Amino acid sequence: DAGVIQSPRHEVTEMGQEVTLRCKPISGHNSLFWYRQTMMRGLELLIYFNNNVPIDDSGMPEDRFSAKMPNASFSTLKIQPSEPRDSAVYFCASSFQDNYEQYFGPGTRLTVT
């Protein structure tokens, strides 16, 4: 099993640009989670999906952030427009809904200048 796949691994962009982060969960998992990690705020849950449906997006910082899961094998997290304070490592994780054991991807390190 390839595990959770995220792309890109690193992204450097200028303020105001659109950023799209991608995630492919482990095949068969039906829950998908997007997290953000910074030194200041630690690990934060942004949004999660069960069976491709967004369940809780209360962690999304503001309307500049949006996430989609068009099918069971793909999800995107989009930031438009990006700001320097969005600089962080963004992790995607997946699991079987009923057992909570999450598998994390390698993360995308985003730098907004």
Partner 1 sequence: AQSVSQHNHHVILSEAASLELGCNYSYGGTVNLFWYVQYPGQHLQLLLKYFSGDPLVKGIKGFEAEFIKSKFSFNLRKPSVQWSDTAEYFCAVGSGNTGKLIFGQGTTLQVKP
Contacts with partner 1 by CB under 8 A lie at 31, 33, 42-43, 45, 48, 50, 55-56, 91, 93, 95, 97-107
Distance CA 76, CA 95 (A): 17
- Residue 59: strand pairing partners: none
Residue 17 or 97 having the CB closest to partner 1: 97
Residue 14 or 56 having the CB closest to partner 1: 56
Supply the minimum distance, in Å, between the C-beta of residue 81 and partner 1. Answer: 27
Distance CA 38, CA 16 (A): 20
Token pair 């985003």 is at which residue?
A: 110
Residue 50 or 73 having the CB closest to partner 1: 50
Supply the minimum distance, in Å, between the C-beta of residue 42 and partner 1. Answer: 5
Supply the minimum distance, in Å, between the C-beta of residue 2 and partner 1. Answer: 14
Question: What 3-state DSSP class applies to 2?
Answer: coil
Distance CA 1, CA 26 (A): 8
